[in-house]
Amino acid sequence: MLTVKDLAVNYGAIQAVKGVSFEVHRGEIVTLIGANGAGKSTLLKTISGLMRPKAGQITYLERPLDRLSAPQIVRAGISQVPEGRHIFPGLSVQENLQMGAFGQRDRAVFNETLQTVYDYFPILKKRRTQDAATLSGGEQQMLAMGRALMAHPQLMLLDEPSMGLAPIFIQEIFTIIQAINQAGTTVLLIEQNARQALKIADRGYVLASGQVKLSGSGAALLANPDVQRAYLGG
């Protein structure tokens, strides 16, 4: 579904991603793990069209993404849930969700998708008229995920969805990610909580210093002694 081949990305003079290659197959949950500064978020931003690669290729459903704009990439079927959530303060919960559906012109599809989001996140329906800035951190993360779902993506990119959340919300977020995937949305997940991410992942890649150092099934990486020492506290 998604192929990243020999991708290199610079931040100014700094090479943040150095020849990274990986694949995401339809229906999978794939996770990228690694320390801060490993290049994970840069990869997602480049896939989303927010950054441009210096070299390499990104293809989605056999279509090159490298030169498409961010709105074109959303319309092609890829939505990102950004690190830090970035909900729109001053807008209500439902207005934030409407912003996620900016490309949707079919009212029936919009209403159906909105109901699906409220089914995943009942608390958002309860708070739909509330200013999004007044939600808790966990509720804001749910809103960011719901907003991405409003674009009706085939592939969802999640950047650190558990960051800064209370443990009770972390488990709920990962359960919902699995439910979204089981309903047909492919997931590419970046997550500092490597143990939780690998538990739900079909496959994973370990990034270090802008390069892929290890790859394998989620279960195999969980059992890998090097991964345990570096990322799982074992």
Distance CA 209, CA 40 (A): 10
Which residue reads 């197959």 in tokens? 25
Does residue 197 belong to any structural domain of this protein? no
Give the start-end residues of each E strand in 69-123: 78-81
Is residue 215 within 8 A of residue 204, CB to CB? The reply is: yes
pLDDT for res 103: 77
Does residue 120 belong to any structural domain of this protein? yes
- Tell me the residue range of the domain where 105 lies: 87-151
Residue 234 confidence class, pLDDT cut points 50, 70, 90: low
Higher pLDDT, 213 or 102: 213
Number of domains in the chain: 1
Does residue 203 belong to any structural domain of this protein? no
**Average pLDDT of the residues in 94-106:** 89
Does residue 146 belong to any structural domain of this protein? yes
